[in-house]
Amino acid sequence: MQPGFFSLPTLMNQFIYIGGLFLILLTIGGNFLEETFGCQTRRLLKKNKYAKNIFLLLLVFFTINFSDRKSSLTPFEKIKSTIIVWLAFLIFKHLTVELCILIFISLSIMLILIEFSKYYKNGKNKNTQIVNNINNSIYILDCFLLLLFIFGILQYYFNLKRQKKEFKLFEFLFGIKHCKN
């Protein structure tokens, strides 16, 4: 008998639920832990954009390692993936809210499609045609995301031009985004 959607998870799957919930709680709780760092560390992370980016790189690398226990990625591939995710995040922070929402929705759909692809590839209901269709959809979404990022960068660049400001790649990547009220 197939378990229903709301049935209790098996012991094998409990880690997914517990791990996912724990990661969310730790992420949210981390926002309230600034005072637990020493004064010098807090000052460094508050004022030094390079220290913030190193901290962010390490967080991304840890997250990739944490979420990718079963694959056979080499450490070099994980470092490459870390840099790609980090650069995408650096670009993401300069995009308009509409583009951010569109990217977030696209990433969510892609994650769901990847899970269905794994299910139909390795599960009880193996179906090569469905896997191929899903993988084609993932490829299209991948291209769409790349276009959104390129469009966002160009939009940011032309917005600076309109404001008669100079585009500085270094500031674009490492600068801190100051928000208007």
Taking CA 109 as the corner, what is the angle to CA 145 and CA 25, rounded to the nearest 5 degrees? 105
Lowest mean pLDDT among 17-21, 57-61, 88-92, 95-99: 17-21
How many separate domains does the chain show?
2
Average pLDDT over every residue of 124-134 = 87
Lowest mean pLDDT among 64-78, 87-101, 146-160: 64-78
Q: Which residue has the higher pLDDT, 180 or 58?
A: 58
Lowest mean pLDDT among 21-25, 154-158, 166-170: 21-25
Maximum alpha-carbon separation in the chain: 66
- Answer yes or no: is 13 within a domain: no
Taking CA 118 as the corner, what is the angle to CA 112 and CA 119, rounded to the nearest 5 degrees? 90
Q: What is the pLDDT, as a whole number, of residue 137?
A: 92
Q: What is the pLDDT, as a whole number, of residue 133?
A: 93
14-25 exposure pattern, b = at least 16 Cβ within 10 A, e = fewer: eeeeeeeeeeee
CA 34, 51, 166, 96 torsion-angle sign: negative
- Answer yes or no: is 3 within a domain: no
Average pLDDT over every residue of 136-145 = 90
Q: Residue 133 in contact with residue 121, Cβ under 8 Å?
A: no
In which domain, by residue range, is 53 found?
35-92
pTM, two decimals, is: 0.70
Residues 125, 148 within the same domain = yes
- Answer yes or no: is 19 within a domain: no
